Every structure is written in C-alpha cells, then in structure tokens.
Amino acid sequence: MGDVERFKPESGLTLLWLSTVGIAVVALFVCAAALFATIEFVYRRLIAVPIAWLLSRLALGAWRGTSG
C-alpha cells in the first residue's frame, strides 16, 4: 500500500474558532436586517408622508388656481 495520510479530526480550538465566526456572521446579518428595517421605517413615516402631503397640497392649490 502507498503512503496514505490518516484523517485527523479538527482540533477543539479550530472548531471553537469556526463556531465563533459563524455566530458573528449570523449576528452581522441580523444587525444589517435591523438597520435596513429601521431605515425603511424612518423613510416611510418621517420622509415619504410629509412629502406626499406637501405635493398633494401644492397640486390642490394649482388645481384651484391659488398659490397656497
């Protein structure tokens, strides 16, 4: 038979490191999702609604022929 290397199980330190990295990646995804949800909420509630209201008021004034 030839010179065959035996399978060596991963060391405990490597498995700990890999699991820590995996948890960190999951935590990063969760934080990114929370950040995107917050940005969407702020945009929909604090930016889009006042802009839509202002545009509707301006359109109503233009339709009536008044400036305000």
Range of the domain at 64: 36-68
Taking the model in full, what pTM does it have?
0.57
Q: Does residue 8 fall inside a structural domain?
A: no
Q: What is the 3-state secondary structure (H, E, C) of 22-67?
A: HHHHHHHHHHHHHHHHHHHHHHHHHHHHHHHHHHHHHHHHHHHCCC
pLDDT in tens, 1-55: 566 677 666 677 788 899 999 999 999 999 999 999 999 999 998 889 888 888 8
19 CA to centre of own chain: 23
Q: Please give the tally of structural domains in the chain.
A: 1
48 CA to centre of own chain: 19
Q: Does residue 65 fall inside a structural domain?
A: yes
Which is higher by pLDDT, 58 or 33? 33
Q: Does residue 1 fall inside a structural domain?
A: no
Q: Does residue 50 fall inside a structural domain?
A: yes
Q: Does residue 15 fall inside a structural domain?
A: no
Q: Does residue 20 fall inside a structural domain?
A: no
Q: Which pLDDT score, from 0 to 100, does residue 67 have?
A: 54
Q: Does residue 9 fall inside a structural domain?
A: no
Q: Does residue 31 contact residue 24 with C-beta atoms inside 8 Å?
A: no
Which is higher by pLDDT, 64 or 19? 19
Q: Which pLDDT score, from 0 to 100, does residue 30 have?
A: 98
